[in-house]
A and B are shown apart, each in its own frame.
Chain A
Amino acid sequence: MTSVSEGTPEQVSRHQVSTVLHRRPRLRLGLLIGPPMLWLGVAYLGALGALFITSLWGQNPFTGDVVREWNLDNFRLLFESEVYRTITIRTLGIAALVTVVDIVIAFPVALYMAKVASPRMQRILVIAVLTPLWASYLVKAYAWRIMLSENGVISDLGGLLGLDTPGYGLTATVVTLAYLWLPFMILPIYAGLERLPDSMLEASMDLGAKTGHTLRRVVLPAVFPAVVAGSIFTFSLSLGDYITVKIVGGANQMLGNVVYDNVGAANNLPFAAAVATIPVVIMLVYLAAARRTGALENV
């Protein structure tokens, strides 16, 4: 106590500040997380808000100027014309298929990494899974474009088995996207499996369960939240993609392409904003569903 009164004015004021902070945990917390929350609120949610507001405006189709009059025309067009329904369903289908393909490939890989491989092998595999993330997305997509082309690697290798390249189209899009997002599925499942104690597997075996039974009744339920967490990545990344489908998708288009064309070609920002709300809504529904599985605590 005495030392406070004898301190320099600066020390005193510092001490006062820390006393105030100590007595008011809420203020302390506010100062600590205020700036990041502001960033999240203004830059992140603000952008979403601006998107939504823009989608309620219109456009002068000739000069391309945004007409700031409130209306629901963009959404009406979105609901009424069949083409956008088709594109939405196609995009959803692609995203779902990519997610399923990734789960099917990632699960055995992650299981091997977490439970079978030696520690050394484990490290090597983690690096192997992560390395492709260092290469540019575009390079990988163009690599697939070349591999999938006529007389490309895939048609050469497939020719040995009597198969041909699927060519540019939806199949090529799903394959390429599944390749691109695979690490985002493997890592959460791997982390989930690591947390699963070996003793549980042993217990299951001791109690007479066969391998398949153990996998179904013990491993799968335990890693299900991790799978859902991984699927959030693969699903949302596929949902918003427009470059891969432009490179290997042939003449097909996804929701992202409609947004891109309306921003770049048609210069119709309000309509682009309206289209962009579709994936946002889909993801909100998806996240709400994922929350019920407890996956969000796992991410």
Chain B
Amino acid sequence: MTHRKVRWHRIVAACAAVTLVAACGTESSDDKDSAGGAGFEAPDLPQLEEIGDGEGEVNILAWPGYVEDGSTDPAVDWVTPFEEATGCQVNVKTFGTSDEAVNLVKTGEYDVVSASGDASLRLIAAGDVEPVNTDLIPNYADVYPFLKDRDWNSVDGQMYGVPHGYGANLLMYRTDVVEPAPTSWSAVFEEDSPYAGKVTAYDSPIYIADAALYLMEHEPDLGIENPYALDEDQLAAAVDLLKQQRELISEYWSDYLKEVQAFTTGDSVIGTTWQVIANVAQGEDVPVEVVLPEEGATGWSDTWMVMTESEHKNCAYLWLNHIISPEANAGVSEYFGEAPSNPKACDLASEGHCETYHAGEEDYAEQIWYWTTPVEQCLDGREDVKCTDYGAWTQAWTEVKG
């Protein structure tokens, strides 16, 4: 009896498995064509030629803090004026990581997205976002010139969005422990760092670029020109450096409150950070300072992009124009803690804001290598070699952590 029962179960299980495989198998055959190659090629999509009347609604996908309508803090509101002026009702959905943003974009339910450089190119390549006609956005003329036509927001001179603002990944340290004040990333990379076991680093494959940036200065023989364009050998060198760093690490962070806490307790005393994190820690009387080390730094520069499938393109363009207006740009950059993209915002922001974030200081901005998605076609223009793509970086990052 038991034996027959067992056999019966097995037959059922086998049937179920076969059915499932068969069902999914059929589905797979139609889908093969849509998955393109790994190389980078922007699909040929038209841009908007003129703005008509608003459609009455716009669905926005944004980093938390980028679209505030006063519901978080009544004093923080740059959405209501937009709704009143344009009649476009704003619906917002926030995301926590660039990869989450890419996933949400693929649902096709949104009109605009605030994409960081490590998401923007992927969206362009997938045809999820379309070229943006900057002539239709009056405030675009005011934007800092050094933010226009960059690797992460344009392809062949065609803009795919409007620059939102930018910030650098800085070196934060406890002033009571770290002496003398560091001037180089060597404090977090070199074996003989006196802070071994108390170092922290950003927990994301994109952090490999920080190691590459360090090697760019300290190992010129490797020939790294751009920390986001690494061939196999250069990636291997960066991974080796990160494995060496792994021995010094107390923990990696991706949640910014976790980093604040680790610096408060002293479990971490030195490591990469954002300005806004330092502000929070200093607000809690933790003795920390930040520095832009001599090698320069990586950073983020965000771009507002318009979805190809959007049904509210007029409202989307109106939003793009609004979010880089002096008022809104000042509000966002101050609330989030980053440099605005529109210099006129500095007149409206509270005093010292633009100085803290070095807004418009081109020397400072040029020291920042903004997050860019690594692709097979080398971003530094090399054509004799294939570069490693984000998939390879993700794999490498797992290996670094071990």
Q: What residues of chain A have their CB less than 8 Å away from a CB belonging to chain B?
A: 41, 45-46, 49-50, 53, 57, 59-70, 77, 81, 83-84, 86-87, 145-146, 149-152, 167-168, 249-253, 258, 261-262, 264-268
The distance from the CB of B27 to the nearest CB of chain A, in whole angstroms, is 7
Q: How far is the CA of A231 from the CA of B143 in the complex (A)?
A: 62
Nearest B residue to A267, CB-CB? B99
Asked if residues A53 and B21 are in contact (CB atoms below 8 Å), the reply is yes
Residues from chain A with Cβ under 8 Å of B31 in the complex? 68
The B interface, classified by DSSP as helix, strand, loop or mixed, is: helix
Report whether B21 and A266 are in contact in the complex, using a CB–CB cutoff of 8 Å.
no
- Are B250 and A62 in contact, with the CB atoms below 8 A? no
A83 to B392, CA, bound (A): 14
Query: Can you list 28 A-B contacts (CB < 8 A)?
Result: A45-B13, A49-B16, A53-B20, A53-B24, A59-B391, A61-B391, A61-B392, A62-B122, A64-B102, A65-B35, A70-B28, A83-B402, A149-B262, A149-B265, A150-B267, A250-B251, A251-B251, A253-B402, A261-B398, A262-B394, A264-B100, A265-B99, A265-B205, A265-B394, A266-B99, A267-B99, A267-B103, A268-B391
* Interface SS, A side: loop
Query: Is there contact, CB below 8 Å, between B401 and A251?
Result: yes
Q: Is B21 a contact partner of A61 (Cβ separation < 8 A)?
A: no
B266 within 8 A of A: yes
Indicate if B38 sits at the interface (CB-CB under 8 A): yes
Q: Give the residue name and chain of the B residue nearest to A87 (CB).
A: B402
Taking A62-B122, A62-B389, A63-B126 as contacts, is the C-beta distance between A251 and B246 under 8 angstroms?
A: yes
Q: Mark B9-33, 1 if CB is under 8 A from A, else 0.
A: 0001100110011001101100110
Complex CA gap A77/B25 in Å reads 23
Contact B249 A250 (CB under 8 A): yes
Q: Known A53-B20, A62-B390; judge A67-B398 contact (CB<8 A).
A: no
Tell me the bound Cα distance from A149 to B394 in angstroms: 30
| Residue pair A264, B20 in contact (C-beta under 8 Å) | no
Cβ contact within 8 Å between B16 and A149: no
Q: How far is the CA of A81 from the CA of B262 in the complex (A)?
A: 32
A66 CA / B28 CA spacing, docked (Å) = 10
Residue B373 is within 8 A (CB to CB) of chain A in the complex? yes
Instruction: Report which residue of B20, B38, B106, B249 has the largest number of chain A beta carbons within 10 angstroms of its beta carbon.
Output: B20
A176–chain B nearest beta-carbon distance, Å? 14
Cα distance, A64 to B373, chains bound together (Å): 12
Across the interface, which residues of B come within 8 angstroms of A146, CB to CB?
265
Q: Which of A81, A251, A265 contacts B97 (CB 8 A)?
A: A265
Q: B152-173: contact bitstring with A at CB < 8 Å (1 yes, 0 no)?
A: 0000000000000000000000
- A residues less than 8 Å from B97 (CB atoms): 264-265
Question: In the bound complex, what is the Cα–Cα distance between A230 and B103 (angstroms)?
Answer: 39
Evaluate contact between B38 and A152: CB separation under 8 angstroms.
Answer: no
> Please, how many angstroms separate the alpha-carbon atoms of A77 and B266 in the complex?
38
CA distance A267 to B34 in the complex (A): 18
In the complex, A261 Cα to B399 Cα: how many Å?
12
- Residue numbers in A under 8 Å from B197 (CB-CB): 167
The answer to whether B99 touches A264, judged by C-beta atoms less than 8 angstroms apart, is yes
Cα distance A41–B20 in the bound complex, in angstroms: 12
Residue among A62, A167, A265 making CB contact with B38, cutoff 8 Å: A62
Residue of A nearest to B23 (CB): A53
Q: Among A62, A64, A70, A261, which residue has the most Cβ atoms of chain B within 10 A?
A: A62
Q: Is the CB of A41 within 8 A of B36?
A: no
Partner of A168, one of B37, B250, B390, B399: B250
Whether A167 touches B250, Cβ cut-off 8 Å, given contacts A61-B38, A69-B32, A83-B402, is yes
Cα(A266)–Cα(B376), bound, Å: 16
New A-B pairs, 5, CB < 8 Å, besides A46-B20, A49-B17: A60-B35, A62-B38, A62-B125, A62-B375, A265-B394
**A residues within 8 A CB of B392?**
61
**CA A152 – CA B125 in complex, angstroms?**
49
B103 to chain A: which residues have CB within 8 Å? Answer: 64, 267
- Are the C-beta atoms of A65 and B390 separated by less than 8 Å? no
Restricting to B195-251, which residues have a CB under 8 Å from any CB of A?
197, 204-205, 246, 249-251
A41 neighbours in B (Cβ, 8 Å):
12, 16
Q: List residues of chain B with CB within 8 A of the CB of A70.
A: 25, 28
Contact of B34 among A45, A57, A65, A252 (CB under 8 A): A65
The A-contacting residues of B in range 374-402, CB under 8 angstroms, are 375-376, 389-392, 394-395, 397-399, 401-402
A62 CA to B402 CA, complexed, in Å: 24
Interchain CB contact (< 8 A) of A61 among B27, B126, B266, B389: B389
Check B144 for interface membership: any CB of A closer than 8 A.
no
Chain A residues closer than 8 Å to B126, beta-carbon distance: 63-65
Please measure, in the bound complex, the distance between the C-alpha atom of A145 and the C-alpha atom of B250, giving whole angstroms.
13
Which residue of chain B has the shortest Cβ distance to A57 in the bound complex?
B28
Indicate if B252 sits at the interface (CB-CB under 8 A). yes
Q: How far is the CB of B272 from chain A (nearest CB, A)?
A: 14
CB < 8 Å: which of A46, A62, A150, A261 contacts B391? A62
Q: B16 contacts which chain A residues (CB < 8 A)?
A: 41, 45-46, 49
A261 CA to B254 CA, complexed, in Å: 11
Inter-chain contact A167/B267, CB cutoff 8 Å: yes
- Determine if B274 is an interface residue (Cβ-Cβ < 8 Å): no
A57 to B31, CA, bound (A): 12
| Cβ-based interface call for B40 (8 A) | yes
Q: In the bound complex, how far is the Cα of B36 from the Cα of A167, in angstroms?
A: 47
- Evaluate contact between B40 and A62: CB separation under 8 angstroms: yes
Which residues of the other chain, B, contact A60 by a CB distance below 8 angstroms?
35-38
Which residues on B sit within 8 Å (CB–CB) of A50? 20, 24
Q: What is the chain B residue whose CB lies nearest that of A90?
A: B402
- Distance in angstroms from B92 CB to nearest chain A CB is 21
Most interface-central of A151, A262, A265, A268 (chain B CB within 10 A): A265
